[in-house]
Amino acid sequence: MRIKVVNPNTTRSMTATIEACARTVAGPGTDVEAVSPTMGPASIESHYDEALAVPGVLAEIAAGEEAGVDGYVIACFGDPGLDAAREIAAGPVVGIAEAAMHAAALLGRGFSVVTTLGRTTGRTWDLAERYGLRRSCLGVHACELPVLDLETDPDARKIVTEACFEALDSDGSDAVVLGCAGMADLCAHISEELGAPVVDGVAAATLFVQSLVTLGLRTGKRGEFAVPPAKPYAGLLAPFARARTARP
Amino acid sequence: MRIKVVNPNTTRSMTATIEACARTVAGPGTDVEAVSPTMGPASIESHYDEALAVPGVLAEIAAGEEAGVDGYVIACFGDPGLDAAREIAAGPVVGIAEAAMHAAALLGRGFSVVTTLGRTTGRTWDLAERYGLRRSCLGVHACELPVLDLETDPDARKIVTEACFEALDSDGSDAVVLGCAGMADLCAHISEELGAPVVDGVAAATLFVQSLVTLGLRTGKRGEFAVPPAKPYAGLLAPFARARTARP
Amino acid sequence: MRIKVVNPNTTRSMTATIEACARTVAGPGTDVEAVSPTMGPASIESHYDEALAVPGVLAEIAAGEEAGVDGYVIACFGDPGLDAAREIAAGPVVGIAEAAMHAAALLGRGFSVVTTLGRTTGRTWDLAERYGLRRSCLGVHACELPVLDLETDPDARKIVTEACFEALDSDGSDAVVLGCAGMADLCAHISEELGAPVVDGVAAATLFVQSLVTLGLRTGKRGEFAVPPAKPYAGLLAPFARARTARP
Amino acid sequence: MRIKVVNPNTTRSMTATIEACARTVAGPGTDVEAVSPTMGPASIESHYDEALAVPGVLAEIAAGEEAGVDGYVIACFGDPGLDAAREIAAGPVVGIAEAAMHAAALLGRGFSVVTTLGRTTGRTWDLAERYGLRRSCLGVHACELPVLDLETDPDARKIVTEACFEALDSDGSDAVVLGCAGMADLCAHISEELGAPVVDGVAAATLFVQSLVTLGLRTGKRGEFAVPPAKPYAGLLAPFARARTARP
Amino acid sequence: MRIKVVNPNTTRSMTATIEACARTVAGPGTDVEAVSPTMGPASIESHYDEALAVPGVLAEIAAGEEAGVDGYVIACFGDPGLDAAREIAAGPVVGIAEAAMHAAALLGRGFSVVTTLGRTTGRTWDLAERYGLRRSCLGVHACELPVLDLETDPDARKIVTEACFEALDSDGSDAVVLGCAGMADLCAHISEELGAPVVDGVAAATLFVQSLVTLGLRTGKRGEFAVPPAKPYAGLLAPFARARTARP
Amino acid sequence: MRIKVVNPNTTRSMTATIEACARTVAGPGTDVEAVSPTMGPASIESHYDEALAVPGVLAEIAAGEEAGVDGYVIACFGDPGLDAAREIAAGPVVGIAEAAMHAAALLGRGFSVVTTLGRTTGRTWDLAERYGLRRSCLGVHACELPVLDLETDPDARKIVTEACFEALDSDGSDAVVLGCAGMADLCAHISEELGAPVVDGVAAATLFVQSLVTLGLRTGKRGEFAVPPAKPYAGLLAPFARARTARP
């Protein structure tokens, strides 16, 4: 089984971390590869960044389809391009916010999300609503650490851990969800410190995709998520017209 | 006052129709210009098309900011790129689905939406939910006419009108919302045939933007919709890095 | 185009202020007139006041129908009599809470309402729910200033402004809605002090009605909002029987 | 214990029927009196009728307060004036739609409402939403019989019974709620024919008020439902100013 | 009329208190008997306790059916076994959380619940959601007093009263619901101290069952709540097979 | 890794089928054992059956804790005893309705559930609501086949397959969820016939538990799901008192 993990930002060091986390949990017969797109923002911290990360994500899904990939993880907590990716992929596609929230919902009544910048919390609430988990999501807490500082700030782990402690206490939640793919490698440590379940979406999504492939489950193709109709694409994005001829 | 109407698809004949409809309702002091992006799909009929229309829309918003535009309409019923556009524009930005649904909510208890392809109805329900109007939205009805056939199929007006009649009857609704910018020029005719209010989002959004500008209202910039933080953009999308330095 | 703004309370000085605010934003071809009913409470600060303001509002709508008015604004933040007014008016009717909340929803993720007495906040939540905007309404804040004191208390502007500052901060909202028609003339000043969008429902509703009339949109008359069936009315309210023969 | 049942319309024959139904179920120590207001519509079949029935209802509540009544039923399925009545009454006030829906919610998963004219179904949905019972309310069915025809049409019982049968079948509901006070005397018969629970709001509200009085429970007076502040009332409605000095 | 109040825990002193409270409010023609099951936990303070209290509750309902009981109260604030009891009882069955929340909803906009241990608050929110009253339930407050300490701790009344004061203030609620059958005898005292309505579910449920029986209303038996199909039961629970042959 | 699958009914042939389905999908390092309780109903087709299946389920969880099991599946579509099981188990516990609905939510916009008897559909809606997936659950369809007939009726597969076809068409759903553990072995066949994703909860829950254990995630124990407080248990259920001393 081949799973492709797409990190929607173009920062390759983060992609390497993500790949390591995904590989740690994947089963023995599962081959995991993580990639960054060839175009788009270095990190995703706004609706603008997120919207412009999507073309790169879709190009990676399209390439995966040609290469016979079985399932995909979109490894940014905004789950950018998820609906479109489901249209062009033959196998399942899971976002890390989606996976982390669904997993956390299995661990108790409610969870808290700890994320990077405050300006992204609205998007997290939107996703919780979309996935039906707004009632389970008891709070979204920003630690105001920019995404790429997670890799470089020597206090990053401490800052995120403290935010997790505060989130658990103020929300009375049963678990914490880490709201950024760049926090994936902090998960085990924080969980140990906290003495409470901490969910990293990268690992969770990898295992959910592996589970769906094992179950023979893929996106339903009877309607909304059928392969998109073919049509001309203009300008810079002309190459994207061909991506729509997905594997049958 | 200058309002820029961005048709997210690249079909210029449709843009011309949209511009005419917007101009018909704009006030005497309002200058309306409609444009198509230089990149992206010829029509939007899938999540994939919609996602890939967004970069072109954002480029047009960025260009508008440099030209001193006061407010924007996004003229595709999926309201693609709306959140991101709000981040980079100084003035108000309104989507046509958003405007049409809010307007219809002022006309009675509930409205029906008549749209093009069945595969897009899910997106319409998502938007109704997002705008708080899922309870007001009593039904979404596809007439299975591709977007560009609205311009070329000699029976288009008849097909859409019949779908409107059926929607009113089956939903017991008070009004009909036309679910595609390409239907803008059919609005007056259908309304007359139906004897019920019919809302075209292009005209409605134009007047809502004009109203907001007159009221001195623009997107709140205290948090989620502040100008995005600057950062490197890679590859094909490198030019988009600069768009984030919006007008103060 | 003739728009009639009905101030549901009988305090004429407030009606004059309301009229001035509405006229400031109306387009060149729009004639705006504001009135107070001939019966009812001097201000509306309870469900009791609101219920008893309605007959006077409906009498003004009925008089407007005879005079050929094109559209109506109900200028009290409880939107009293809105459904009944929609039944008897041929043109559109918009309440100021309705208009302000819908307008604020176009400016970001969420808004705060700043209102007069705490006992009226329940009604505001009811309206937010009814209009589908409960999720967008992040808080309702009373400054405990009686309605008529807005005109006479020399500190009124300061008190309301401070409540707006506190609302923005505690709710993390993108905009503020002024929750009383008596605050209409404070809007520009407060917005400037706050550096955030502030929505006055009187001005917003005036432009929404003007927009609906321009779009040829009026209340749907196919069912719930058709002209009420004729029947005897007894006692003090006997004159209201005739109001139901609205303009075709 | 004294319970006053206010029929908001002015048709005294219907008031007599309502009184008989209420008395049948009241306990031995409970004195039930039903009244019609001295002003307002002969029947309530529109938002307009309902709004204009409210002053008469409130006058009856005020009179009841002077006479030492312990609790009130508002006997019209739109529950007109309920919030305002709660402000001016010292004891509990219950609407018949409110009582019937809460009672039906105790009888299974979901109920159907059978009502008179189709134009009133929107109001019923509003009330179900307000009372939190929209999910329990599986359908609202109009038999298109005007309210006063319930007393005069020889087929009334048959028409309503048939609508109940259809409602049970199409909704798969566990119980039926009769959506008009004018159907109170049909309840026993229909229930027997249907072989399913049928709820008449008049009887249910009478027993709920009796229960609340027995329990020593009355409307909370700490905030929203405190006695309204005193103020001038103008014109025809000037007499209503005094009603606000409720019993302590 | 015979009403059987089932205290799902096996502490007979609490059952005696419950019986006294129920008898105080029952009408002259109503015979009230309270019982404890012969099996199960001494108090209910977890999902585990609650699940294991259910067989004993159902055995008491089954015994009641053989004895010709007219209606039942389940006197634990988690309403354990309510759905199953409705299947096997011919008459109405009401839980005390259900009754208290519905009663409180008739007293104003919102209520607070004051309960025993913090770990049970999740269950209370679940029930509020299930009964449609989550919006009316403004807060659930634990005073961290174990259930059986309500009978033995000399400060119990003071502790609960203080929690009620804090709940009213922090939630801005109109009424308080006592979240444990063991608080039934505190209700009058706390209400007097608080000067606000306080709802005891035991008394409320008793009167609601009495009301339903008087109205001739019982659980709908057309579908979900019909008598369960007969089948073998194994082991310790074999005797429960016969309980399903309820009175016709 | 050891996973224990508890079939809450006592029919061992069904337990054998369930075990086979779970083992088919489990990873190489996962040991799966399925059991039936020693007490309770032969099948679960009512709230009554479900309530009485719970003690047996909890006894199996308690036994699993002593035996060092890592995680549990509750293999009945009503997810009986899930909350209580989470309190007493150290590792994760997942219900098959829960797993199947969450898995189906990853495959498109909406799913249909096909179940056995119509009387159980209410419970399915309750669970969809509880898991946040009511909006994703587009329909619940009963094929009116008793649970144990799934094993013996030669037409069972055909009947269920036809119900799946009808569900997909009438709901316009993207996937089908099989609403009974007894349908687990039909899943592959039906999926092939349908050409659409079909989710069996037994297999899905097994992989979700396996995933959670791999991720080091277990039920949060900080509050609601902490080990229940110790206390006396009376009568037949006295042995259950000890189950609460779960593994640390």
- What is the C-alpha separation between E32 and E21, in angstroms, rounded? 10
Rounded to a whole number of angstroms, the distance from the CA of E191 to the nearest CA of chain F is: 29
Domain holding E88, by residue range, is: 2-96+204-244
Which residue, among C1, C109, C217, would best test binding to B if mutated, counting the most B CBs under 10 Å from its CB? C217
- 3-state class of F177 per DSSP? strand
DSSP classification of residue F38: S
Q: Say yes or no: C22 contacts chain B, CB-CB below 8 A.
A: no
The amino acid at residue D150 is: L
Per-residue pLDDT at E65 = 95
Residues in chain D closer than 8 A to E215 (CB atoms):
25, 103, 199-200, 203-204, 207
- For residue D248, name the pLDDT band (cuts at 50, 70, 90): very low
Res F66: pLDDT: 93
Q: Are residues D91 and D48 in the same domain?
A: yes
Pair C88, C150 in one domain? no
From A221, which residue of chain F is nearest by alpha-carbon distance? F174
Q: Which of B123, B226, B234 sits opposite A119 (nearest CB)?
A: B226
Asked if the Cβ–Cβ distance from A41 to B129 is below 8 Å, we say: no
> What integer is the mean pLDDT of C5-26?
97
Q: What is the mean pLDDT of chain C?
A: 95
Q: What is the pLDDT of residue A241?
A: 87
Instruction: Map residue B6 onto helix, strand or coil.
Output: strand
Alpha helix (H) residue ranges in B68-110: 82-88, 96-105
Same domain membership, residue E161 and residue E68: no
Structure tokens at A41: 């923002």
Asked whether F115 and F182 are in contact (CB, 8 A), the reply is no
Calculate the average pLDDT of chain F. Answer: 95
Q: Do B87 and A48 touch (CB under 8 A)?
A: yes
Rounded to whole angstroms, the Cα distance separating F114 from F171 reads 12
Interface of F with E in 36-55 (CB under 8 A): 37-43, 45-52, 54-55
pLDDT digit string, tens, across residues B167-210: 999 999 999 999 999 999 999 999 999 999 999 999 999 999 99
Closest alpha carbon within chain F to A101? F102
- Tell me, yes or no, if C237 comes closer than 8 A to chain B by beta carbon: no
| Amino acid identity at E10 | T
- Reference E101, options D97, D205, D102, D73; nearest CA is D102
Candidates A25, A28, A168; nearest CB to F222 = A168
CB A2 within 8 A of CB A16: no
Chain B: residue nearest A123 by CA? Answer: B224
Note whether F83 and A197 are within 8 A (CB). no
**Chains D and C are touching, with contact defined as 3 or more CB–CB pairs separated by less than 8 Å:** yes
Q: Do chains F and C touch (3 or more CB pairs under 8 A)?
A: no
Domain shared by F89 and F15, yes or no: yes
Mean pLDDT (whole number) for F143-171: 95
Residues B174 and B232 in one domain: no
The 8 Å CB, 24+ separation contacts for E158-162 are E160/E114, E160/E186, E160/E190, E161/E186, E161/E189, E161/E190, E161/E193, E161/E194
Mutate to test the interface with D, among C52, C117, C130, C131 (most CBs of D within 10 A): C52
- In angstroms, the CA C225 to CA B106 distance is 12
Which percentage of chain F shows pLDDT scores above 90? 95
Give phi and psi for A205, each to the nearest 5.
-65, -40
**Co-location of E102 and E143 in the same domain:** yes
* Residue E67 neighbours by CB distance under 10 Å: 11
Q: Same domain, yes or no, for A56 and A76?
A: yes
Integer CA distances (angstroms), C35 to A21, B233, C20, C64, C68, in order: 68, 57, 12, 10, 15
Cβ-defined contact of A235 to B39 (cutoff 8 Å): yes
A96 touches chain F (CB under 8 A): no
Residue F241's pLDDT band, with cuts at 50, 70 and 90, is confident
Q: Is chain C adjacent to chain B, meaning 3+ CB pairs within 8 angstroms?
A: yes
The amino acid present at E108, given as its one-letter code, is G
For chains A and F, CB pairs below 8 A equal 140
Same domain, C215 and C240: yes
- CB contact under 8 Å between B188 and C86, yes or no, is no
Q: pLDDT truncated to tens, each residue of chain E (248 aa)? A: 999 999 999 999 999 999 999 999 999 999 999 999 999 999 999 999 999 999 999 999 999 999 999 999 999 999 999 999 999 999 999 999 999 999 999 999 999 999 999 999 999 999 999 999 999 999 999 999 999 999 999 999 999 999 999 999 999 999 999 999 999 899 999 999 999 999 999 999 999 999 999 999 999 999 999 999 999 999 999 989 864 444 54
Distance from CA of C28 to the nearest CA of D (A): 34
Looking at the complex, does the CB of residue B182 fall below 8 Å from at least one CB of chain A?
A: no
Specify the pLDDT at position E242.
Answer: 61
The nearest alpha carbon in chain D to C47 belongs to: D84
Q: From chain F, pick out residues whose CB is under 8 angstroms from the CB of E8.
A: none
Report CA dihedral (F147, F150, F156, F159) to the nearest 10 degrees: 30
Do A90 and A56 contact (CB within 8 A), yes or no?
Answer: no
pLDDT tens for each residue of E90-113: 999 999 999 999 999 999 999 999
Q: What is the pLDDT of residue B248?
A: 47
Question: Per the CB < 8 Å rule, is C237 touching D55?
Answer: yes
Find the closest chain E residue to D106 by CA distance: E94
Q: DSSP assignment of chain D, as one string? A: -EEEEE-SS--HHHHHHHHHHHHHHS-TT-EEEEE--SSEESS--SHHHHHHHHHHHHHHHHHHHHHT--EEEE-STT-TTHHHHHHH-SS-EEEHHHHHHHHHHTSSS-EEEEES-GGGHHHHHHHHHHTT-TTTEEEEEE----TTHHHH-TTHHHHHHHHHHHHHHHHT-SEEEE-SGGGGGGHHHHHHHHTS-EEEHHHHHHHHHHHHHHTT-----SSTTSPPPP--EEGGGGGGGGGG----
Residue F206 predicted with pLDDT over 60:
yes
| CB pair distance less than 8 Å for C38 and D10 | no
Phi-psi region of D81 (alpha: psi -120 to 50; beta: other; left: phi over 0): left
C188 at interface of B, judged by CB pairs closer than 8 A? yes
E126: chain F residues, CB-CB within 8 Å: 130
C-beta of residue B57 within 8 angstroms of C-beta of residue B81 = yes
Residue appearing with tokens 């997290």: A124
Query: B197 and C203: CB-CB below 8 Å?
Result: no
Residue with tokens 């997905």: A246
**Encoding tokens for residue F116?**
């056995």
- Check residue A248 and give its pLDDT: 47
User: Domain check: are A128 and A192 in the same one?
Assistant: yes
F86 contacts in chain E (CB < 8 Å): 47
Q: What angle do CA C24, C30, C35 make, to 5 degrees?
A: 70
Residue F248 in this model has a pLDDT that exceeds 70: no
What value does the mean pLDDT take over residues A215-227? Answer: 96
- State residue A242's pLDDT score: 61
Q: What is the pLDDT of residues E25-41, one digit of tens each?
A: 999 999 999 999 999 99
Q: Which residues of A touch F210 (CB under 8 A)?
A: 211
Which chain A residue lies closest to F201 (C-alpha atoms)? A215
Q: Is E218 left (phi over 0), alpha (psi -120 to 50) or beta?
A: beta
Q: Answer yes or no: do A219 and F197 touch at CB < 8 A.
A: yes
Tell how far CA D6 is from the center of its chain: 8
Following DSSP, what letter does each residue of A161-218 receive, concatenated? HHHHHHHHHHHT-SEEEE-SGGGGGGHHHHHHHHTS-EEEHHHHHHHHHHHHHHTT--
Q: List chains adjacent to chain D, taking adjacency as at least 3 C-beta pairs closer than 8 Å.
A: C, E
Q: How far apart are CA A143 and CA B116, in angstroms?
A: 44
* Smallest CA–CA distance from F203 into chain A, residue: A215
Residue C77 Cα, gap to closest chain D Cα (Å): 16
- Strand partners for E113: E140, E177
Q: What is the mean pLDDT of residues F204-233?
A: 96
Using an 8 Å CB-CB cutoff, list chain F residues near E86: 47
Alpha carbon distances (Å) from C91 to C36, C73, C94, D98, E167: 20, 11, 10, 33, 47
| DSSP bridge partners of D41 | C233
In angstroms, rounded to a whole number, what is the distance separating the alpha carbons of residues B78 and B75? 9
Cβ distance B79 to B99 under 8 Å?
no
Same domain, A66 and A108: no
- Chosen for mutation from A187, A189, A217, A218 (greatest number of chain F CBs closer than 10 Å) is A217
**How many beta-carbon pairs under 8 angstroms link A with B?**
169
Q: Is F169 on the interface with A (CB under 8 A)?
A: no
pLDDT of E244: 47
Instruction: Determine which helix (DSSP H) or strand (DSSP E) holds B189, and give its type and residue range.
Output: helix B187-194
Please tell me the distance from the alpha carbon of residue E168 to that of residue E112, in angstroms, as a whole number.
7
Query: Using one digit for the tens of pLDDT, what is the confidence trace for D53-88?
Result: 999 999 999 999 999 999 999 999 999 999 999 999
Supply the CATH number for residue D43's domain. 3.40.50.12500
Contact A46 B81 (CB under 8 A): no
B109 and B190 part of one domain: yes
* Residue C140 DSSP label: E
CB contact under 8 A, E107 and D28: no
Q: For residue F209, how many other CB atoms are within 10 A of its CB?
A: 28
Which residue of B94, B98, B225 is in closest CB contact with C108?
B225
In angstroms and rounded to an integer, the radius of gyration of the C-alpha atoms of chain A is 17
- E174, E204, E215 ranked by CB distance to D204: nearest: E215
Question: Domains in chain E: how many in total?
Answer: 2
The average pLDDT across F55-74 equals 97
Question: How many CB atoms lie under 10 A from the CB of residue B190?
Answer: 22
Inform me whether the C-beta atom of residue B212 falls under 8 Å from chain C C-beta atoms.
Answer: yes
Residues 6+ apart with CB under 8 A from E163: E114, E141, E142, E143
Interface test with B, best of A11, A46, A123 (most B CBs within 10 A): A46
Interface membership of C203 toward B (CB under 8 Å): yes
- C5 CA: distance to closest CA in chain B (Å): 16
Residues of chain B with pLDDT below 70 are 242-248
Residue from E139, D62, D248, D122 nearest C51 by CA: D62
Q: Say if residue F88 is in the same domain as residue F149.
A: no
Q: How confident is the model at residue C141 (pLDDT cuts 50, 70, 90)?
A: very high
